[in-house]
Amino acid sequence: MQTPFPFYEVLAWAVGPLLALVILAIGYLRNSLCELRLFAAYLVFFLFREMSYFWLSHSHLAASRGVYDYYWITEFLLASLRLLTVGEIYWRSLGNYPAVWDLTWRVLLGLAAALLLWSAYSAAQHTAKIAKFFYNGLQCLEFMQAALLVASLAVIVYYHVQLLPLHKLMLIGLCLYSLVQVMTYAMASRHPGAMHYWFSLIRQTSYAAAIFLWVYAFARPVQTRAPAPTLISRAEYDDLSVQFDYRMKVLNNRLLTMLRS
Amino acid sequence: MTTAYIIAAIALMLLILLAVILRAGSGGRVADPPSPDKVLKSSREELRPSHYRNLSVVLQALSEQDDLFLTSRVNPEIRKRARAARCAVALQFLEGLREDHRRLDRLARMLTALSHSVDRGREYRRWWVTARFELFCLLLSLKLRCGAAPIVQIRQATNLIGDLAVQLERAMHAWQDASLKSPAISA
């Protein structure tokens, strides 16, 4: 099929590996990737996948089923690495806030487990073809990533946890990309054929936008570790919390009485 | 067919939610970490409930005597407008109380973030209590819009918030004194 914007398509594809290389170079020179090892692993694997897929798609194997399967399996692995990067950033951000970490990791893990089960169930519906299996698993994984990212950011804002600008921009980039992916996967599955080209182009553009955001985040003066806040003791927390709980509960009861009056 | 659209719609909602969260986190709240000093300062300057101080004025505007006075002296048209204005004042006051409650809740969350360890059950209960409070406020504002003006209960709620603020300020002072005396507390 002849594509309407072949130059843009090539540009959108090429910009990802090039900018990933730029991030790795900046990260190496400034030592800013040492705290984000999973993200560095993701970038390296992404570069390897793009180069290998480029070579495969221009070889005599281009039309084979194996290359198609290879694309979707590696895409699934990349999504998994992005998901692990989210976990890494969340863990790094909450490292200085043990109480918030202790309070929220179970909730987020529960959400992740529920979404993972759903992903596994969705993928299990398509076990006949390996590419289809990973394609469906990937859709759910992207959705899971977007939901977890929104939930993590909600926790961070709710508890006024310090989030480094680098981490914030990385999370925004990951979240925007995942959400666009989810929407385009869902719509592309309903409109195959000619429309598939447009959805593919949107996906590539959204990835280019996300990676531009990461380059911007790494190109700025980077602070890779947040200063630890001064923490209070459990006794003080207990002292104040009891008062809060009691008063808030009474206040609720009063409001309930007002409603019933 | 439907599933694909549902997933796309949920993704769109998540996108909107992300924008809301980022907007709530802007203005230095995400970048600036809370610190005990900051919390103490906030407790003195910002978190002191302010709206309950206007209680006497609001109660005067909502009092039965005021209503009787209006009934005896002015025509129905003006009385209707005056009642609408009184209702607007009560709603504004309720919104003020809600704002006070939100500030106190914000302080509670900052304290949680600055703690070494917390009581999980207590924190989960607070989420529930805060959600209930917001719901009750919403229902009460609907009730006020329908014409009811529970003055006595508003007074009770207001006293409660004021009392809570005083107690918290005392506890904060005690905490600050203890922190200065004992280096072990600030780990």
Return the pLDDT at B167: 62
Query: CA geometry: angle at B33 spanning A235 and B16, to 5°?
Result: 115
How many CB pairs (< 8 A) connect A and B?
A: 214
Which residues of A are less than 8 Å from B168 in CB distance? 240, 243-244
Q: A184-235 pLDDT, tens per residue?
A: 877 776 666 655 667 777 877 888 888 888 898 888 876 767 777 778 778 8
* Domain ranges, residue B160: 35-181
Q: How confident is the model at residue B76 (pLDDT cuts 50, 70, 90)?
A: confident
Which residues of A are less than 8 Å from B133 in CB distance? 248, 251-252, 255
Q: A149-185 pLDDT, tens per residue?
A: 999 999 998 888 888 888 888 898 888 888 888 888 7
Q: Do A240 and B112 touch (CB under 8 A)?
A: no
Closest CA to A261 of B24, B14, B139: B139
pLDDT beyond 80 at A89:
yes
Q: Is the domain of B72 the same as that of B126?
A: yes
pLDDT beyond 90 at A41:
yes
| Mean pLDDT value of segment A243-249 | 70
Q: Do A143 and B5 touch (CB under 8 A)?
A: no
Which residues of B are less than 8 Å from A247 in CB distance? 104, 160, 163-164, 167
Q: Which residue has the higher pLDDT, B181 or A23?
A: A23
Return the pLDDT at B38: 63
DSSP B30: T
CB distance B36 to A230 below 8 Å: yes
Return the pLDDT at A42: 92
% chain A with pLDDT above 90: 10
Least confident of A144-148, A240-244, B62-66, B144-148: B62-66
Return the pLDDT at B176: 57
Q: Is the domain of B24 the same as that of B90?
A: no
First to last CA, chain B: 56
Q: B97-142 pLDDT, tens per residue?
A: 787 778 778 888 888 888 888 888 888 888 888 888 888 788 778 7
DSSP A192: -
B187 located within any domain: no
Q: Is the domain of B40 the same as that of B7?
A: no
Closest CA to B149 of B137, B161, B141, B160: B141
How many Cα atoms sit within 13 Å of B31 on the Cβ side?
8
pLDDT beyond 80 at B53:
no
DSSP A125: T
Q: Is the domain of B23 the same as that of B40?
A: no
**What CA–CA distances, in Å, run from A15 to A20, A184, B71?**
8, 20, 75
Contact of B146 with chain A, judged by CB distance below 8 Å, is answered with no
B156 located within any domain: yes
Q: How far is CA A159 from the centre of its chain?
A: 21
Q: How confident is the model at residue A250 (pLDDT cuts 50, 70, 90)?
A: low
Q: Which residue has the higher pLDDT, B98 or B169?
A: B98
**What CA–CA distances, in Å, run from A103 to A136, B83, B182?**
32, 47, 27
CB distance B113 to A159 below 8 Å: yes
Return the pLDDT at B166: 62
Q: Is the domain of B165 the same as that of B121?
A: yes
Return the pLDDT at A190: 65
Closest CA to A21 of A53, A47, A52: A47
Question: Which tokens go with A119?
Answer: 């992903």
B31, B160, B185 ranked by CB distance to A250: nearest: B160
Question: Which tokens go with A134?
Answer: 């990973």
Q: What is the dihedral of CA A234, A235, A236, A238, to 10 degrees?
A: 80
C-alpha torsion sign, points A90, A93, A99, A100? negative
| Mean pLDDT value of segment B33-55 | 56
Query: CA geometry: angle at A146 spanning A140 and A149, to 5°?
Result: 135
Average pLDDT, chain A: 81
Q: Is the domain of B15 the same as that of B80?
A: no
Residue bearing tokens 């009891």: A242
Q: Is the domain of B84 the same as that of B110?
A: yes
Q: Do B109 and A158 touch (CB under 8 A)?
A: yes
Q: How confident is the model at residue B182 (pLDDT cuts 50, 70, 90)?
A: very low
CA A112, CA A63: separation in Å to the nearest integer? Answer: 37
Residue bearing tokens 């976990």: A87
Domains: count for chain B = 2
Return the pLDDT at A217: 87
As for the ipTM of the complex, it is: 0.76
Instruction: Give the distance between the most distant pair of CA atoms in chain A.
Output: 81
Residue ranges with strand state E in chain B:
none
Residue bearing tokens 């990951």: A174
CA A72, CA A60: separation in Å to the nearest integer? Answer: 19
Q: How confident is the model at residue B186 (pLDDT cuts 50, 70, 90)?
A: very low
Q: Is the domain of B4 the same as that of B50?
A: no
Interface test with A, best of B16, B18, B104 (most A CBs within 10 A): B18
Return the pLDDT at A64: 80
pLDDT beyond 50 at B47:
no
B67 located within any domain: yes
Q: How confident is the model at residue A40 (pLDDT cuts 50, 70, 90)?
A: very high
Interface test with A, best of B12, B13, B21 (most A CBs within 10 A): B21
A139, A150, A168 ranked by CB distance to B30: nearest: A168
Nearest Cα residue in chain B from A153: B21
Task: Classify residue A198 by burial, with Cβ atoms within 10 Å: 0-12, 13-18, 19+.
Answer: middle
Nearest Cα residue in chain A from B23: A157
Q: Is the domain of B39 the same as that of B9?
A: no
Q: Is the domain of B87 the same as that of B26?
A: no
B186 located within any domain: no
B54 located within any domain: yes
B47 located within any domain: yes
